[in-house]
Amino acid sequence: MLLHGLLVDLVPFTREFHEEKMHTFWNNESRWWATMGDNQPVTRAEIKRMNEERIQGHERGYTGIHFMMRARDGNIIGSAGLNWLDYWNRYGMLGSWIGEPDYWSGGHGTDALLLLAEYAFNWYDLRRLILFTMGPNIRAQRNVERCGFKLEARQRDGGYAGGEWVTSLAYGMLREEWQGRETLVEQFNLRERAEKRYGALD
Amino acid sequence: MIEGKLVDLVPFEDDYATYLESWMNEEAWFRAHLWERREPHTEDMVKKFIEKMEKNERGALIGFQAKNGDPIGCVIFDHEWSRVRKADVTVVVGDTRYEGTDEALDGLLMLLRYCFETRSLHRVDAVALTFDEVKFDMYERAGFAHEGTLRQHIRYDGDYVDIEMFGLLEDEWPGYETITEKLGLQPSGLEPKPKLEKKDDKDGAKDNDKK
Amino acid sequence: MAHSTDSGHPLLEGLLVDLTPFDKRFVELEHKWENGPAAFWGDMGDRQFFTRDHLRSRRERNAAERENDSSPAVTFGIQTKDSTPIGLFVVAYIQPAFRTAILGAYIGEPEYWGGGYGTDALLLVVDYAFDWLDLRRLWLVTMSLNARVLRQMDKVGFTMENRQRNATLADGTWYDIVMYGLLRDEWPGRAAMLERLNLWPRAQATKG
């Protein structure tokens, strides 16, 4: 099952992602933003181990659902998904990571976030979505706020990134606050932005 | 291989495993596996599914292909209950071009032939989402009776939807020869897909090195 | 209410029965129940011969499956008000993504059949499934020969949704498998059902 967006599609992970892209993404600046400041080098062997653990995790009842993010030009640029699905309390934690800096600020992350939120509400009937970012990540804060997420908690000195203590920000959105993907696509001019970058949409 | 009128049943191997990676992410898959979570199926999940079905003593995953060898999809029987000789049957038309064709119907008929005439089942069960008219039509032509509706049983793209339940009994099955004759199956005449390139050609590369 | 040391802690308290953890006392009795008349009705006509070993390994297998499964289950023991274990109740195949579950139960001691004990337990479990597990639909499966359960389903407000013709064999005859469903908005709540089914006076009479 594919989630078709305007700038990105969310698709199943391929071998290329696990064997090639992960090594790149985990060792460039993108990781620092996505993980709140982690930046120690990661070897191929460690990546391989992580992938094996991921497969086992699924068997042990890990509830997360993850997608590979593919830009309209066919490039694999990152991942996005529900890092955690709490079925009993009906909330899910979103996470996304664009590993190719060339694709930052282009609306790709927003497009993915809209697809994910719609997917989570429509297929899993969740009541609430949450996500976390850190103080220095102004871009992420702007993005999630205009999608309807509300800042619910500021955890002071919640993380250590780039040699200093940073605030960890907890965001939440209730189902009734979600305006629906179509509305936000209009509001953010995502169609025009996608056509400008990748040509006419079919 | 078991040969039918428009399709043949074959072991689920070779190209089928590769095709299943895309089939398991198609809408048709999720419509046939109603109880499953709607999530992207990665290569290792697909592999695991095939392994599970290979070990499954109460069911099997079987490929079906057109007479020209073009793989169409898979037929599955599962949860075979030996005491009352009953099983669930599912047809997944992976190559969506074949949706609603007589090849797809013949896939179901061949599965029924296998269930009744080889495995000696007493009854088979089938399900469909309430708006899946292509499936209703297929079940009806195969002789199934609509037996009931499980209300709001599944969440589907923003709504809870009903599941329609169908059943077919051994003594209602006229036999494969009779029913295919009666239905007058017609081939769709679809061109076969281009052959898949070998995905993992590490072994092939080694062979080349030797040369 | 006084409890002796080997009586179960009531998790859900009814009028005639309490639901407790499926503790040792129930495990001990499982062998008798699974080989007795209740199993014939519970398994839709099957009569199996279970050894203690067989039941133990089945329990272990179920426990292992539930631990790593995304469709968990909850098992209760049913005991009378004087702490006599009489049966079990399972909320199984919980599908969190759809918020549905299947119910399964039996009263293992035939002398308690027809006394309202099963219905009392059912009302407790339905309330529990909707209010605590936040499910939106419950369903269950029985065979058409089981007139007692068919009547009970009617009384409690389940709808017969499906009838699989000749789907199970009981003592040499084919019977239908019938499936019942109950949606949350059809459920008036346990208190209302106790009134409607007149269970209060029955409980008074049983207590003497």
Q: Mean per-residue pLDDT for B184-200?
A: 86
Neighboring chain A residues of B29 at a CB cutoff of 8 Å: 1
Classify C176 as helix, strand or coil: strand
pLDDT reported for residue C67: 73
Model confidence at C1: pLDDT above 50: no
Average pLDDT over residues B125-140: 97
Cβ contact, residue pair B40, A10, below 8 Å: yes
DSSP-derived letter for residue B190 is: P
Q: Which chains touch C (3 or more CB pairs under 8 A)?
A: A, B
Contact C136 B160 (CB under 8 A): yes
Could you give the percent of chain B with pLDDT greater than 70? 93
What are residue B37's phi and psi, to 5 degrees? Answer: -65, 145
Distance from CA of C132 to the nearest CA of A (A): 9
pLDDT in tens, C143-192: 999 999 999 999 999 999 999 999 999 999 999 999 999 999 999 999 99
Taking only the tens place, the pLDDT of each residue in C53-111 is: 999 999 898 888 777 666 689 999 999 999 999 999 999 999 988 999 999 999 999 99
- Determine how many CB atoms are found less than 10 A away from the CB of residue B78: 14
Residues C65-75: pLDDT tens digits?
Answer: 777 666 689 99
Number of H-type helices and E-type strands within chain A: 8, 8
CA gap A177, A149 in Å, rounded = 8
Is residue C17 a contact partner of residue C86, using CB atoms and an 8 Å limit? Answer: yes
Q: How confident is the model at residue A38 (pLDDT cuts 50, 70, 90)?
A: confident
Do the chains contact at A121 and B158, CB–CB below 8 Å? yes
Does A61 touch chain C if contact means CB atoms closer than 8 Å?
A: yes
> Which of C46, C100, C168 minimises the CB distance to B153?
C100
Average pLDDT over chain B, rounded to an integer: 92
- Assess whether pLDDT exceeds 50 at residue A73: yes
Q: Are A98 and A109 in contact (CB under 8 A)?
A: yes
In a domain, C6, yes or no: no
pLDDT value at residue C65: 78
CA–CA separation, B78 vs A106, rounded Å?
47
Task: Give A-chain residues touching B21 at CB under 8 angstroms.
Answer: 12
Q: What range defines the domain where residue C81 resides?
A: 12-207
- For residue B36, the distance in angstroms to the closest alpha carbon of chain A comes to 11
Tell how far CA C97 is from the center of its chain. 23
Rounded Cα distance between B165 and B145, Å, is 9
Q: pLDDT class for B204, splitting at 50, 70, 90? A: very low
| Chain B residue with minimum CA distance to A67 | B40
**Picking from A44-48, B88-92, C4-8, which range would have the lowest pLDDT averaged per residue?**
C4-8
Can you give the residue range of the structural domain that contains B20? Answer: 2-210
Q: Under an 8 A CB cutoff, do C162 and B148 touch? A: yes
Return the residue of B nearest to A124 by Cα: B155
Q: Is residue C49 part of a domain?
A: yes
Q: List, for residues B50-74, the tens digit of each pLDDT value.
A: 999 999 999 999 999 999 999 999 9
Confidence bin at A62 (pLDDT 50/70/90): confident
Residue C204 has a pLDDT of: 81
Task: Tell me whether residues B42 and A13 touch, CB distance under 8 A.
Answer: yes
Find the CB nearest A61 among C68, C133, C134: C68
If one counts the domains in chain B, the total is 1
The more confidently predicted of residues C156 and A88 is: C156
Say whether residue A15 is in contact with chain B using an 8 A CB cutoff.
yes
Structural fold of domain A3-198: Aminopeptidase (3.40.630)
Inform me whether the C-beta atom of residue C134 falls under 8 Å from chain A C-beta atoms.
yes
Our count of domains for chain C comes to 1
CA A156 – CA A168 distance, rounded (Å): 7
Contacts of B38 in chain A (CB under 8 A): 1, 119, 123
The complex's ipTM works out to 0.89
Res A81 pLDDT > 50? yes
What span, in angstroms and rounded, lies between the C-alpha atoms of B22 and C136? 33
pLDDT of residue A57: 81
Confidence of residue B199 (pLDDT cuts 50, 70, 90): low
Beta carbons of C70 and A63 less than 8 Å apart = yes
Nearest-Cα distance to chain A for C38, in Å, is 33
Confidence (pLDDT) at C201 = 81
- As given in the structure block, the two tokens for residue B30 are 């999720």
Alpha carbon distance C76, C86 (integer Å): 11
**Is the separation of the CB atoms in C40 and C47 below 8 Å?**
yes
* C151 assigned to some structural domain: yes
Contact state of B44 with A55 under an 8 Å Cβ cutoff: yes
- For A:136-175, CB contacts with C below 8 A are none
HSE-CB for C34 with a 13 A CA cutoff: 17
Chain C residues in contact with B145 (beta carbon < 8 A): 165
**CB neighbour class for C197 (10 Å; exposed up to 12, middle 13-18, buried from 19):** middle
Distances (CA, A) of A77 to A102, A181, C106: 9, 22, 55
CA B45, A64, C73, C176 torsion: positive or negative?
Answer: negative
Cβ–Cβ of A87/C96 closer than 8 Å? Answer: yes
Look at residues A132, A131, A134 and name the one whose alpha carbon lies nearest to residue A162. Answer: A134
Residue B205: what pLDDT? Answer: 43
As to burial, measured by CB atoms within 10 angstroms (0-12 exposed, 13-18 middle, 19+ buried), residue C62 is middle
Nearest CA in chain B to A122: B158
DSSP class of residue C113?
T
CATH of the domain at B35: 3.40.630.30
Of C69, C97, C134, the CB nearest to A61: C69
Residues belonging to chain B with any Cβ–Cβ distance to chain C shorter than 8 Å: 35, 37-38, 83-84, 86, 122-123, 125, 145, 147-155, 160, 165, 167, 169
Contacts of A119 in chain B (CB under 8 A): 38
* C68 → closest Cβ in A60, A90, A125: A60
**Which tokens sit at B159?**
């709504």
Among the partner residues A12, A122, A125, nearest to B40 by beta-carbon distance: A12
Average pLDDT, integer, range C13-19: 96
What percent of chain C lies above the pLDDT cut of 90? 80
Question: Counting Cβ atoms within 10 Å, is residue C198 exposed (0-12), middle (13-18) or buried (19+)?
Answer: exposed
d(CA B29, CA B38): 10
pLDDT at residue number A61: 73
**Chain segment B68-125, per-residue pLDDT in tens:** 999 999 999 999 999 999 999 999 999 999 999 999 999 999 999 999 999 999 999 9
**Residue of chain C minimizing CA distance to A125:** C97
Q: Does B83 touch chain A (CB under 8 A)?
A: no
**Given a cut of 70, is residue B179 above it in pLDDT?**
yes
Using a 10 angstrom Cβ sphere, with 0-12 exposed, 13-18 middle and 19 or more buried, the burial of residue B90 is buried
Count of CB pairs separated by less than 8 Å, A with B: 44
- Looking at beta carbons, which residues of chain C come within 8 Å of B167? 164-165, 167
Q: What is the pLDDT of residue B207?
A: 44
Whether C13 has a pLDDT exceeding 50, the answer reads: yes
Beta bridge partners of C17: C80
User: Rounded mean pLDDT of A52-64?
Assistant: 81
Contact list, B27 vs chain A (CB under 8 Å): 1
Cβ-Cβ contacts under 8 Å for B102 (sequence gap 6 or more): B6, B183, B185, B186, B187, B188
Tell whether B41 is within 8 A of chain A (Cβ).
Answer: yes
Cα C208 to its chain centre, rounded Å, is 26
Report H helices in chain C. Answer: 24-34, 37-42, 52-67, 117-131, 147-156, 190-196, 199-207
Helix, strand and coil in chain A, % to nearest 5: 40, 30, 30
Q: A170-173, long-range: CB within 8 Å, 24+ apart, which pairs?
A: A170/A130, A170/A132, A171/A130, A171/A131, A171/A132, A171/A133, A171/A144, A171/A145, A172/A128, A172/A129, A172/A130, A173/A117, A173/A128, A173/A129, A173/A130, A173/A147, A173/A148, A173/A149
- Considering only CB atoms, B152 lies closest to which of C70, C166, C183, namely C183
In a domain, C122, yes or no: yes
Longest dimension (CA), chain C: 49
Domain contains C7? no
Q: Calculate how close chain A gets to C69, using CA atoms only, in Å.
A: 6
CATH number at residue C91: 3.40.630.30
